[in-house]
Chain A
Amino acid sequence: MALLEIDDIHVFYDKIEALKGVSIAVDEKQIVTLVGANGAGKTTTLRAISGILHPRAGEIRLGGESLADLPPHEIAGMGVVQVPEGRRIFARLTVDENLQMGAFSRNDRRAIAEDKERMLALFPRLKERLKQVAGTLSGGEQQMVATARALMARPRILLMDEPSMGLSPVMVEHVFETIRAINQQGVTILLVEQNALMALGIADFGYVMESGRIVLTGRGQDLLEDENVQRAYLG
């Protein structure tokens, strides 16, 4: 049984059906990526997992337990944590406070302090900026804060929404290296990306989405070599 199972969900914005029966499975310790064009419904999928949107039909399960009707903060408490699209750090809090917010549902002070040290080892750039107001960081640094903040929650599964968006090629490299490193430390990751080339390159498994539907699935490498994918996403 997969850690996260999305089973034929339909999600609506009022009358617009944004997801028309989407099924995705993420196994423990895997990187699974969801790629697709603008407006395909990738963010919508992640918002449904986090409980911000509720599917009208279908079910989402974590470790076999249904997440239906749970409020977002309880889903977060179960270990499903997002690095949202466009970073969305708490702009007026300091880097340090942002990290602390990530550990909001935890009470083990000592372990939180240790995790913070681990984050600073993972992102040394944040070390000298701990007291800086997060809104004044560069885009790449904000992405680091958003990622570290999510990891501070010790997620069972990390949902990342376009972490490479708007970053320079060097930063993009760095982001994907970090994702791989995080995964090697044992964190399960569902990665949403526009950058299909890079995403499929590091993913164990990939899903291709088009206007609210999954149109292709397969191992990351296989999809990279797939003719249709190459034509549509890799130019």
Chain B
Amino acid sequence: MMAGAAARRVAGSRRAPPSPLQRAAVTGLVFGILGLYLAIVGILAMIHGRAIIVGVLTLGQATLVAIGLGTGAMIVRGDGEHGAWSWSTLLRSLFAGAIAGGVLALLVVAMDALDLRAIFIALSPALFEMLTFDLGLAGGVLVLIGGSAALAALGALLTLGPRAFRRHVLIGCIAVIFFGVFQELIQIMMQYGDIIGAVRETIYTWEGLTPEGAILIFVIATAISLLAARLRGGERSDAETPPAQRRNARIAKAAVAVLLLVLFPLLAGSYIGQVMMLVGLYILMGMGLNLEVGLAGLLDLGFVAFFAVGAYTTALLTADSPHALAAFTAIPSLSYWEAMPIAVLVSVIVGVLFGIPVLGVRGDYLAVATMGLGEIVRVIVQSDAAAPLLAGAQGILQIPKPWLGNIELSDPVDLFYLTLACAAVAAYCAWRLENSRLGRAWMAVRDDEDVAQALGINLVKVKLLAYGLGAAFAGLAGSIFAVMLTSIYPSSFQLLVSINVLALIIVGGMAACPA
């Protein structure tokens, strides 16, 4: 009887579950607001300039399509295990999709009626044209709402469809988007050789994929995916293979990946070397942020500040410019190898200082607070007050490249190896941390702060350590960034970088270090 009372109490303390229709409305709203957000911060307009299939689909439009499909998929997911096909599902998807489209339609109407551009610079005429599909206001609104509803229904259907089928279609679509988005890279790689060149010309123009190319890629990718599934079907499934064998397979895969990473830039040349290097820097920062967000559960949108601190410290200590410390103090101009550890150390100190004011803040507020702090760092750097020291918006120029013995590491490929080496060391450290006492303490704090505390964990200490060590990774990345560009400007350290890194680790799976 008592147990029953307790159970009732628990149930009573929650709100009554929302009705399916309410949930559909909320889902639609969430996706609509996601689209709204992308539009307002300018991402939508920006990626609209990027064609995936020339004259047919841009990345921006693909994003809108994804929002529509996602709404429907989410409706089905929300039904849980026993989600099955029914007219109600279809209706709810249509409804949710219409709401998602409606939110964007509202934006369009508002843009037509008011001069929103004065407040949100990204709400440009170009965005208006994109969102109305050049059909004018009324047509655009109709297409937005109707199209979104239809896409949501399609999304729901796809999610309910046989799993195998859905997977192959998805892989086909991803392949098309991949080839579309990374077209420059892929085209450069495909420049050599007659046959490859000919293939390139059929699937690409210089702006993106041709429609034929897109279809071709879709068909090939789907076919490969089907074939792979067929082949795999013959073998034992993953769960049944003995662990040792699975581990060996995993090590072999990792080894191949590492080998590819090491050799690839060498073959591909300096442009790709540079791109890969940027990727490497993001990975370094990702690992640092993962310590904070993934392990310790401290959402941090000001992470770029540590990156900036690492970069500026390196610049001030090594640059051959009037702003370098060596120019007006007795401190000698340091070599990169001397400056790097100092940059990391300074980042750690800033990380800890950064952590102190936000210690008591939790959850959503933490995101806002850290975002504010991150922006403050950039504003300070840009300000006139700090200009004599930090060069303001002009930035610091003439940062020398590092020397290894008497070889100057000037080629992006060389620097890529530097990044790779640092990333390897950092990955090892991150891995050790994750499996340490401290790592466990972080995870405990993430799962339940109060209980962790009541078990003897000093919250202040472990949180500050998370900020400090996370900052160390970003500082290292910043330091490499400085020598990569040989000049740094405050505008390189936008909020967007923090968000990108965060997106990286969310996609990579929180707390999964290998990602």
Residues of A within 8 A of B (CB): 38, 50, 52, 71-73, 75-77, 81-82, 84, 88, 90-93, 97, 100-102, 104-105, 149-150, 153, 162, 164-169, 172, 194-195, 197, 235
Q: Are B2 and A101 in contact (CB under 8 A)?
A: no
Q: A72 to B453, alpha carbons, bound, how many Å? A: 6
Complex partner residue of B2 from A84, A91, A105, A194, CB under 8 angstroms? A194
Q: Are B3 and A164 in contact (CB under 8 A)?
A: yes
Count of B interface residues, CB-CB < 8 Å = 26
Q: A159 to B452, alpha carbons, bound, how many Å? A: 15
A-B contact list, 5 entries, CB within 8 Å:
A73-B459, A84-B454, A90-B447, A92-B446, A162-B6
**A169 and B454 in contact (CB under 8 A), knowing A88-B448, A97-B440, A100-B440?**
no
Complex partner residue of B447 from A73, A81, A92, CB under 8 angstroms? A92
Complex partner residue of A97 from B5, B443, B448, B458, CB under 8 angstroms? B443
Q: Are B3 and A104 in contact (CB under 8 A)?
A: no
- Min CB gap B1→A, angstroms: 8
Q: Are A93 and B455 in contact (CB under 8 A)?
A: no
Does B471 have its Cβ within 8 Å of any Cβ on chain A? no
**A167 contacts across to B, CB distance below 8 A:** 3
Q: Are A76 and B454 in contact (CB under 8 A)?
A: yes
Complex partner residue of B10 from A81, A166, A169, CB under 8 angstroms? A166
**A168 contacts across to B, CB distance below 8 A:** 3
**B447 contacts across to A, CB distance below 8 A:** 90-93
- Min CB gap B18→A, angstroms: 23
Q: Are B10 and A77 in contact (CB under 8 A)?
A: no
Q: A85 to B40, alpha carbons, bound, how many Å? A: 44
**A81 and B457 in contact (CB under 8 A), knowing A90-B444, A100-B440?**
no
Within 8 A of A (CB), among B25-54: none
Q: Are A104 and B437 in contact (CB under 8 A)?
A: yes
Does B230 have its Cβ within 8 Å of any Cβ on chain A? no
Complex partner residue of A38 from B9, B451, B458, CB under 8 angstroms? B9
Q: Are A195 and B450 in contact (CB under 8 A)?
A: no
Q: Are B443 and A194 in contact (CB under 8 A)?
A: no
Does B7 have its Cβ within 8 Å of any Cβ on chain A? yes
Q: Are B3 and A93 in contact (CB under 8 A)?
A: no
**A162 contacts across to B, CB distance below 8 A:** 6
Interface 1/0s, chain B 332-359, versus A by CB < 8 A?
Answer: 0000000000000000000000000000
**B10 contacts across to A, CB distance below 8 A:** 166
Q: Are B451 and A153 in contact (CB under 8 A)?
A: no
**A100 contacts across to B, CB distance below 8 A:** 440
**A101 and B6 in contact (CB under 8 A), knowing A52-B450, A91-B447, A93-B443?**
no
**A38 contacts across to B, CB distance below 8 A:** 9
- Min CB gap B465→A, angstroms: 14
Q: Are B457 and A73 in contact (CB under 8 A)?
A: yes
- Min CB gap B81→A, angstroms: 16
Q: Are A82 and B9 in contact (CB under 8 A)?
A: no
Q: Are B456 and A172 in contact (CB under 8 A)?
A: no
Does B477 have its Cβ within 8 Å of any Cβ on chain A? no
Within 8 A of A (CB), among B441-485: 441, 443-444, 446-448, 450-459
Q: Are A90 and B448 in contact (CB under 8 A)?
A: yes
Q: A194 to B452, alpha carbons, bound, how many Å? A: 25
Q: Are B443 and A104 in contact (CB under 8 A)?
A: no
Q: Are B444 and A195 in contact (CB under 8 A)?
A: no
**A150 contacts across to B, CB distance below 8 A:** 455
**A101 and B3 in contact (CB under 8 A), knowing A88-B448, A90-B447?**
no
